[in-house]
Structure 1
Amino acid sequence: MFETLQPAAPDGILMLMSLYRDDPRAGKLDLGVGVYKDVDGKTPVMRAVREAERRLHKSQATKSYLGLAGDTVFNELMIGVVFGDKADRARLRAAQTPGGTGALRLLADLIRLSRPDATVWVPDPTWPNHMPILRAAGLKAQTYAYFDAENGGVRFDAMTEALEAIPAGDVVLLHGCCHNPTGADLSLDQWRSVARLLAERGLTPFVDIAYQGFGEGLEQDAAGLRILAETVPELLAAASCSKNFSVYRDRAGAALILGSNKAEADTAYGQLLGIARGIWSMPPDHAAACVRIVLEDDDLRTDWKAELEAVRQRMMSLRQGFADALRRHSNSDRFDFIARQRGMFSRLGISAEQVAKLRADHGVYIVGDSRFNVAGLPGDRLDDLAAKIVSVL
């Protein structure tokens, strides 16, 4: 059987990790892997999560299955985190998933079941795993104009023109905040315009909100999605706890559905759980249980929000400091956009050849499209890093 298989195409980020590990240079720098890092270069366990784990260990009396939907209290709490207190709960449903990636795949399968001829339109560029997930679900996928590489912002006129040409019944994937890989987000006015356009065109939004709390703040980062929810009849959303709760390896996420009415939401939810049964059957419990404990307890929730805000502020400070350093060393405003963008990622806007030279000459590892992890920036060596980047231009 296996003799029929061809070698899998190498994953660029995994290859970068391997090259970094094998590099003997003491001053090497990893800006490729997409996890938050603190000032010591570590990805910490958040204080509130650590306490939640302690309580869970003390109180948990069984490892039995929770059911197809997972932790139902976690699900209800995640609806509140993502959609807010004023959301129409009668039309909203949530299922626990193995991370945000699991939520994306589960919802992609639901699209395939309910509208098999639909095309899912994703921004250009987008997270590299979006296309493989959609195609693995048997969906057609196309791109729409989004990023302006010249100024580091959104090509909103081109985006609007592209969305206006999409046939009714198709699905539009949107990054809820902290666009990966560019860090270029829509303004609230642009979200309102997109929401009206989608409603008028009969297009269904599919929102990937993986970095809530990393951009403008926990509530602010969900504002665009909430505008959509107030405007369109139906919506799909994939939420991740990996980043804002720092539970990466433990895999906690939620697939969320907004239906036109209660009956349709119930039907869609039943089908969603049926799909989950055929993929992973029952979701893992540990991380979702910890998130539930944090969100249920006022003191833990307050501490989590405070630590999350400190993480966000640190990344904002690194963005500004890096942009300032690049301005000093390049004697230009070429890289000022880095300070204006949000989230964990941006693109330097340099060529693949320059990226390779940066790695070969200086041991600085970033993804081939020049995406770098803001949280990986060395706060005490920004001028040194800026000088190395300018040297390869």
Structure 2
Amino acid sequence: MFGNLKPQAPDKILALMGEFRADPRQGKIDLGVGVYKDPTGLTPVMRAVKEAERRIWEAETTKSYTALTGEPAYLDALSAMVLGRTRDSDRTAMLSTVGGTGAIRQAFEMARMGNPDLTVHVSDPTWPNHVSMLKFMGLPFVEYRYFDSATRGVDFEGMKEDLARAKKGDLVLLHGCCHNPTGANLTLEQWAEVVAILERTGAVPLVDLAYQGFGDGLDEDAAGTRLVVSSLPDALVAASCSKNFGIYRERAGLLMVQVADPAQRELAQGALAFLGRQTYSFPPDHGARIVQTILEDAALAADWRAELEQVRLGMLSLRQQLAAELRSLTGSDRFDFIELHRGMFSRLGATPEQVQKIKDDNAIYLVGDSRLNIAGLNRDSVPVLARAIVEAGV
């Protein structure tokens, strides 16, 4: 049976994690893995999460299955946080998923059920696992221009030109905020232009919202997603709780499918239930229950928002410090884009050889495309990175 198995290409980021762990050098810095870290290098458990878990532990009387598509209270609470007033319950089907990745995978499956002949349009670059899943599923995809390697900003004219080629019923994958891997985001005005293109072409958006609250704030980071959902008849939104609630290992996510006609909602909900049943049957509940407990309690929600804001502002401060250090070392403003980017990531625009030199000479680990995780830094390591970038000739 297993004689035809072939070696699989290792995930480059996971391989980099293993290389970092094996590096014996003192003072090594991991800026590769996409996980938030505090100034001590720890990915902490948030205060509200600890309190929510305590309440769950005291009140829980059973470990029986939850509902097939997820606990309704969780679905309602999280969808309201993501979509705000733009949520149309009469037109929206929802599925509790195994993290944000599970939401993306089920969104691809749902889109294929709706249109077997679709093509998926993904940004160049995008999160590598987007492309990996599409290849594994055999779904055709094309890239649209997104990142301008000269300015380290969005190539919006190229993006618009490429998206205009999408056909009716195609799927357009958009990053809701804090673009991974570049950190370069659309403005709300640019989001409106994207919506206009989707209206003209009839292509359907899939918004991957993995970092809500890490960029400009909870509501600000969801503004583009809300504009898409409120403006278009059909839309999919995949949300993750890994980053903003810090519950990476609990795998709590949500897929929302908005349909044009309320009469289609039950069909969409049934399709989501079917997909969940075929994939993992009933969804995990512990992480979802944590999120629900926090969002339903005003005091817990306020404390969570306050801690999330500290995380966001801390990353902004590191961006400002790194940009200032590089401005001082180079006597130029060519790295000021780091301060303008949002979320955990920025792409430096370094060559693979320069990334390798930074690692070899300084034990600083970046992804090969020069993506760095801002949250892997602290005030002491920022000057070290800045010098390494300059010495590598970036």
Aligned counterpart, 1:100: 100
Structure 1 residue 44 displacement after superposition: 0.4
Structure 1 residue 338 displacement after superposition: 0.3
Partner of 2:3: helix, strand, or coil? helix
C-alpha contact 2:86 2:226 (8 A) present in aligned 1: no
C-alpha contact 1:74 1:291 (8 A) present in aligned 2: yes
Structure 1 residue 382 displacement after superposition: 1.7
Residue type matched to 1:179 in 2?
H
- For 1:147-186, list aligned pairs within 5 A: 147-186=147-186
Question: Separation in 2 of the partners of 1:375 and 1:269?
Answer: 37
C-alpha contact 1:179 1:343 (8 A) present in aligned 2: yes
Question: Separation in 2 of the partners of 1:163 and 1:52?
Answer: 43
Aligned counterpart, 2:302: 302
Question: Separation in 2 of the partners of 1:22 and 1:271?
Answer: 45
Structure 1 residue 285 displacement after superposition: 0.8
Q: Structure 1, residues 204-223: CA drift from partner, whole Å, max 9, x if none? A: 00000000000110001000
Structure 1 residue 200 displacement after superposition: 1.6
Please list every run of 5 or more consecutive structure 1 residues that lacks an aligned counterpart in the other structure. none
Question: Separation in 2 of the partners of 1:85 and 1:167?
Answer: 30
Residue 360 (1) aligns with residue 360 (2): yes
Structure 1 residue 231 displacement after superposition: 1.2
C-alpha contact 2:69 2:272 (8 A) present in aligned 1: no
Residue 311 (1) aligns with residue 311 (2): yes
Structure 1 residue 256 displacement after superposition: 0.5
Aligned counterpart, 1:188: 188
Q: Runs in 1 of length 4+ with deviation above 6 angstroms?
A: none
Question: Separation in 2 of the partners of 1:139 and 1:23?
Answer: 38
- For 1:364-375, list aligned pairs within 5 A: 364-375=364-375
Residue 29 (1) aligns with residue 29 (2): yes
Q: Structure 1, residues 323-362: CA drift from partner, whole Å, max 9, x if none? A: 1111111222221100001001001111101111111111
Aligned counterpart, 2:271: 271
Residue 327 (1) aligns with residue 327 (2): yes
Question: Separation in 2 of the partners of 1:250 and 1:297?
Answer: 20
Q: Structure 1, residues 66-98: CA drift from partner, whole Å, max 9, x if none? A: 121111110011110111034222112221111
Q: Structure 1, residues 108-155: CA drift from partner, whole Å, max 9, x if none? A: 111111101000100000000001222333421111111111111111
Structure 1 residue 156 displacement after superposition: 0.6
Residue 40 (1) aligns with residue 43 (2): no
Partner of 2:263: helix, strand, or coil? helix
Aligned counterpart, 1:241: 241
Residue type matched to 1:334 in 2?
R
Structure 1 residue 293 displacement after superposition: 0.2
Residue type matched to 2:13 in 1?
I
Residue type matched to 1:252 in 2?
A
Structure 1 residue 194 displacement after superposition: 0.6
Aligned counterpart, 2:342: 342
Aligned counterpart, 1:228: 228
Partner of 1:205: helix, strand, or coil? strand
C-alpha contact 1:178 1:184 (8 A) present in aligned 2: yes
Aligned counterpart, 1:124: 124
Partner of 1:165: helix, strand, or coil? coil
Please list every run of 5 or more consecutive structure 2 residues that lacks an aligned counterpart in the other structure. none
The answer to which of 51-60 and 126-135 deviates more is 126-135
Superposition TM-score, scaled by structure 1 size = 0.98
Aligned counterpart, 1:252: 252
Residue type matched to 1:292 in 2?
Q
Structure 1 residue 46 displacement after superposition: 0.6
Superposition TM-score, scaled by structure 2 size = 0.98
Residue type matched to 1:56 in 2?
I
C-alpha contact 1:170 1:204 (8 A) present in aligned 2: yes
Residue type matched to 2:199 in 1?
A
Q: Structure 1, residues 162-186: CA drift from partner, whole Å, max 9, x if none? A: 1111222211000000000000010
Question: Separation in 1 of the partners of 2:182 and 2:61?
Answer: 45
Structure 1 residue 15 displacement after superposition: 1.2
Residue type matched to 1:281 in 2?
S
Residue type matched to 2:362 in 1?
H
Aligned counterpart, 2:139: 139
Partner of 1:388: helix, strand, or coil? helix
Aligned counterpart, 1:55: 55
Question: Separation in 1 of the partners of 2:261 and 2:56?
Answer: 36
Residue 289 (1) aligns with residue 289 (2): yes
What is the total number of aligned residue pairs between the two structures? 393
The answer to which of 125-134 and 180-189 deviates more is 125-134
Partner of 1:350: helix, strand, or coil? coil
C-alpha contact 1:31 1:365 (8 A) present in aligned 2: yes
Aligned counterpart, 1:198: 198
Partner of 1:185: helix, strand, or coil? coil
Residue type matched to 1:96 in 2?
S
Aligned counterpart, 1:84: 84
C-alpha contact 2:31 2:364 (8 A) present in aligned 1: yes
Partner of 1:213: helix, strand, or coil? coil
Question: Separation in 2 of the partners of 1:22 and 1:36?
Answer: 21
Question: Separation in 1 of the partners of 2:193 and 2:12?
Answer: 35
Structure 1 residue 248 displacement after superposition: 0.1
